[in-house]
Structure 1
Amino acid sequence: MLGLIRSYTLSTIRCLFVKYIMQIKLIGSDGKFFGVVNLTEAQSIASKQSLDLILINDRLSPPIYRLGDNKKYLFDMKKKSKRIKRTLTKTKEITLLPNIGNSDYLTKLRKIVSLRAKGYNIRIYILFRGRQIVYQHLGHSLINRIENDLHIKVHHCLIRNKISFLILPNEQA
């Protein structure tokens, strides 16, 4: 790079403040490629259109900038990250106790069936409180009951005071 750039960060979006001239690749707000231009020329184009220069990629030579509204770009990036988080979190958790009553068990089982139909992965925890850890056979019998009712086979593991296992939505017997 030929010039000195001082930039500040607004939630990972860098705005440009320039002291010297350098070459950059410029993309318009509509996606039109302006080509390699001087930074002062890019600033004049941005000021004529009342837009900001947004740094897209500074690892390339010359760096890539886009014309656009910085606050709108920041809003779109936050919205995109929320959408990515929403699609990644497709696991629901259900906690059971080893001495669960029959009606409560049937309610939890209906919830498991409805979540599987919606396509969620379901992590089930069987939680042992206090001295209940001595009676692990109750937890194993509850796992066998779930396996028989859902017609699946699960692999479980005991970690500290809880047994956990995962039920996938497309799992069949």
Structure 2
Amino acid sequence: MNQKIRARKVRLVGEGVEPQIIDTRDALAKAQEMEMDLVEISPNADPPVAKIMDYKKFVYEQKKREKAMKANASKVVIKEIRFGPNTDDHDYEFKRKHAEKFLKEGAKLKAYVFFKGRSIIYKDQGEILLLRLAQDLEELGKVEQMPKMEGKRMNMFIAPKKK
């Protein structure tokens, strides 16, 4: 930028300036005359390309654009529902209704069966319970990860379907 440009000649571009190959000192003088900065855009070109612009305004607008893009990005919310391997029908229905609500709100669902102590022998019941939940929530979400054992937990992820 400005005096830090080392090339002897630059290809000058910018608003109100016709593209031309010019001595760096002359390009810098033109930029100062317009009360703007001379910024080297592509230093690897032959000759390097320099643009006359208001650098601080450029940086400000770039930060503003990045902030707007960040605001538009959606945050992924993961809600968890915990079951035991021997969860009763009433408890299952209660938790299924919560899962439906979470998926309607657009959150991902992490359903898991937690095995305490000797209940680890009921792995098949836990898997059946999670697959039943996936089948009940079929119209609201799709299964991202099938039931999988991780330590004392059997996890399953369900993502909401797009509207």
Taking structure 2 as the reference length, the TM-score comes to 0.63
- 2:13 aligned with 1:27, yes or no? yes
Paired residue for 2:111? Answer: 126
Say whether the 8 Å CA contact 2:96–2:133 is kept in structure 1.
Answer: no
Question: Which of these residues, 101, 107, 111, is aligned with residue 102 of structure 2?
Answer: 111
Paired residue for 2:138? Answer: 150
Paired residue for 1:163? Answer: 155
Query: Compared with structure 1, are the counterparts of its residues 58 and 153 closer, same or farther at alpha carbon in structure 2 (3 Å cutoff)?
Result: same
* 3-state SS in 1 of match to 2:3: strand
Paired residue for 2:56? Answer: 71
Larger Rg: 2
Say whether the 8 Å CA contact 2:41–2:51 is kept in structure 1.
Answer: yes
Contiguous gaps of at least 5 residues in structure 1: 1-14, 116-121
Paired residue for 2:129? Answer: 141
**For the aligned residues, what is the CA RMSD?**
3.7
Query: Compared with structure 1, are the counterparts of its residues 96 and 53 closer, same or farther at alpha carbon in structure 2 (3 Å cutoff)?
Result: farther
**Structure 2 CA distance, aligned partners of 1:25 and 1:78?**
27
**Percent identity at matched positions?**
15
Question: Counterpart amino acid of 2:159?
Answer: I
- Following superposition, the deviation at residue 48 of structure 1 comes to 0.9
- Following superposition, the deviation at residue 98 of structure 1 comes to 2.5
Question: Counterpart amino acid of 2:136?
Answer: N
Say whether the 8 Å CA contact 2:11–2:47 is kept in structure 1.
Answer: yes
Query: Compared with structure 1, are the counterparts of its residues 168 and 153 closer, same or farther at alpha carbon in structure 2 (3 Å cutoff)?
Result: closer
- Following superposition, the deviation at residue 104 of structure 1 comes to 5.5
**Structure 1 CA distance, aligned partners of 2:47 and 2:5?**
17
Query: Compared with structure 1, are the counterparts of its residues 58 and 163 closer, same or farther at alpha carbon in structure 2 (3 Å cutoff)?
Result: farther
Aligned residues: 150
Say whether the 8 Å CA contact 1:23–1:37 is kept in structure 2.
Answer: yes
- 2:18 aligned with 1:18, yes or no? no
**Structure 2 CA distance, aligned partners of 1:87 and 1:159?**
36
Say whether the 8 Å CA contact 2:127–2:154 is kept in structure 1.
Answer: no
**Structure 2 CA distance, aligned partners of 1:123 and 1:159?**
19
- Following superposition, the deviation at residue 97 of structure 1 comes to 2.1
Taking structure 1 as the reference length, the TM-score comes to 0.60
Contiguous gaps of at least 5 residues in structure 2: none
